[in-house]
């Protein structure tokens, strides 16, 4: 925090700080290839799962079924995109489920109180609520220097409690579909070229976050911070400011997810999004985002979210009891981190061998 909070003039970053994806050098290219292989791995698992399910039940790929699947995945994907930014900086945000609930309730209340509000304003309001929550998380983490796991565990409770306090003091414990304006409700089922609009929103979010993380200088610096926080500070990266930004963006996306939730389910109470934080972190980890920061991509996390959602709907079609879902998700997380560890060890060995030959 003692580092100046202003943008420093560009200085060449050491290779480690430049993140795993900076190509050009041979080591970097190798890492880049590994990331692609890792993402193709999840994609392959996803395809395998879908193919197996289609063989068991050809109707699995019917239009309605796929649309339902994409709708369910949309919310988790938006959350995973934001969480990826935070995890890359070697932090975590466990409060996203509560932020989703608060934002869903806030946007629902806005529409009940002022039914004429344009949908765009509702979306922005939801994102603003989320951004404020994210700002609070980020400020405590970055300014007070308290570990994010602890802070966001605290705000997980606090934001949920705030949601309940608001609902119980306003005598509006539940907002039903009948209370919501029809313009907003049609958003939940709306399609563009046959694809659910909510899913398209998620795709846009993923592409934007992915482009930012890959192309922007400040995006690259997030990887640097996660790889080696102290080195990042010494090389002039405004660590506090970057981490704060990651939390605010993540909060805003959790807020957006809250509005999507409201549009999809149209019945809102104070339990919306409870327990989502674990699935979000799981999606990112399954997607190859290292839990201690510094590597991973938002595309991987999005594929992870899609895979977790697909498992949930595919298991019953495969003749397995739906009770197996959580167990399968757990096994998948363990397999993913074990795979990451194996790849990491091999990569380290290859790089060592390379520098030895030189």
Partner 1 sequence: MTVDTAPAPAAPAAAAPARRGLTLPSGSVITTFLVLFLVIAAFSVDGFASTRNAGFLLLDVVVIALIALPLTLVVVTGEIDLSVASTVGLSSAVMGQLWIVGLPLEAIVPLVLVLGAVLGAVNGFLVTRLGLPSLAVTIGTLALYRGLAFVVLGDQAVADFPRAWTTWAISSIGSTGIPTVVVPLLVLMAITGVVLHATPVGRSLYAMGNSEDAARFSGIDVGRTKLWLFVVTGVVSALGGLYWTLRYGSARADNATGLELQVIAAILLGGVSIFGGSGGLLGVIAGALLLASVRNALQLVNVPSDVLNIVTGVLLITAVVAPQVAARVKGRRRRPAPT
Task: List residues binding partner 1 (CB under 8 A).
Answer: 2, 140, 144-147, 149-151, 153-162, 164-165, 168, 270, 275, 278, 281-282, 285, 291-292, 321, 323-334, 337-338, 341
188 versus 226: smaller Cβ distance to partner 1: 226
Q: Which is nearer to partner 1, 176 or 271 (CB)?
A: 271
CB atoms near residue 329 (< 10 Å): 19
**Closer to partner 1 at the Cβ: 145 or 319?**
145
Question: How far apart (Å, rounded) are the C-alpha atoms in residues 353 and 277?
Answer: 40
Smallest distance, partner 1 to C-beta of residue 290, A: 9
CB nearer to partner 1: pick between 193 and 321: 321
* CA 138/CA 70 separation, integer angstroms: 31
Q: Give whichever of 184 and 247 is closer to partner 1, judged by the CB atom.
A: 247
Q: Minimal distance in Å, beta carbon 324 to partner 1?
A: 6
Q: Residue 273 CB, nearest distance to partner 1 (Å)?
A: 13
Residue 130 near residue 99 (C-beta atoms within 8 A):
yes
Identify which of residues 93 and 260 has a Cβ nearer to partner 1 in the complex: 93
Q: Distance (Å, rounded) from C-alpha 198 to C-alpha 294?
A: 30
| Smallest distance, partner 1 to C-beta of residue 237, A | 16
Angle at 273 between CA 272 and CA 275, to 5 degrees: 130
Nearest distance from residue 21's CB to partner 1, in Å?
21
Least distance between partner 1 and beta carbon 327 (Å): 3
């Amino acid at each position: 925090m003692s580092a100046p909070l202003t943008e420093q003039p560009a200085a060449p970053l050491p290779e480690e700080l430049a993140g795993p994806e900076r190509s050009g050098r041979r080591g970097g290219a190798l890492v880049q290839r590994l990331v692609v292989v890792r993402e193709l791995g999840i994609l392959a698992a996803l395809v395998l799962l879908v193919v197996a399910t289609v063989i068991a039940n050809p109707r699995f790929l019917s239009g309605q079924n796929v649309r339902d699947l994409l709708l369910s995945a949309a919310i988790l994907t938006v959350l995973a995109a934001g969480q990826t930014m935070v995890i890359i900086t070697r932090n975590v945000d466990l409060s996203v489920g509560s932020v989703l609930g608060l934002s869903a309730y806030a946007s629902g209340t806005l529409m009940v109180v002022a039914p004429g509000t344009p949908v765009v304003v509702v979306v922005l309001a939801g994102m603003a609520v989320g951004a404020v929550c994210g700002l609070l998380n980020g400020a405590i983490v970055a300014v007070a220097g308290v570990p994010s796991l602890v802070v966001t565990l605290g705000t997980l409770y606090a934001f949920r409690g705030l949601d309940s306090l608001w609902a119980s003091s306003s005598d509006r414990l539940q907002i039903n579909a009948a209370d919501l304006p029809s313009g907003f409700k049609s958003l939940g089922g709306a399609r563009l070229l046959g694809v659910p609009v909510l899913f398209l929103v998620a795709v846009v979010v993923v592409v934007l976050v992915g482009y930012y993380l890959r192309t922007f200088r400040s995006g690259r610096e997030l990887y640097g911070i996660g790889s080696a926080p102290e080195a990042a500070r010494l090389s002039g990266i405004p660590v506090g400011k970057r981490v704060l930004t990651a939390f605010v963006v993540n909060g805003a996306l959790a807020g957006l997810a809250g509005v999507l939730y409201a549009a999809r389910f149209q019945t809102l109470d104070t339990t919306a999004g409870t327990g989502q934080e674990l699935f979000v972190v799981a999606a990112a980890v399954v997607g190859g985002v290292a839990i201690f920061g510094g590597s991973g991509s938002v595309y991987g996390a999005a594929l992870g979210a899609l895979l977790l959602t697909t498992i949930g709907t595919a298991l019953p079609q495969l003749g397995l009891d739906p009770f197996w879902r959580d167990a399968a998700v757990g096994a998948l997380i363990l397999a993913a981190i074990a795979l990451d560890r194996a790849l990491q060890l091999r990569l380290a060995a290859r790089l060592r061998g390379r520098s030895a030959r030189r």
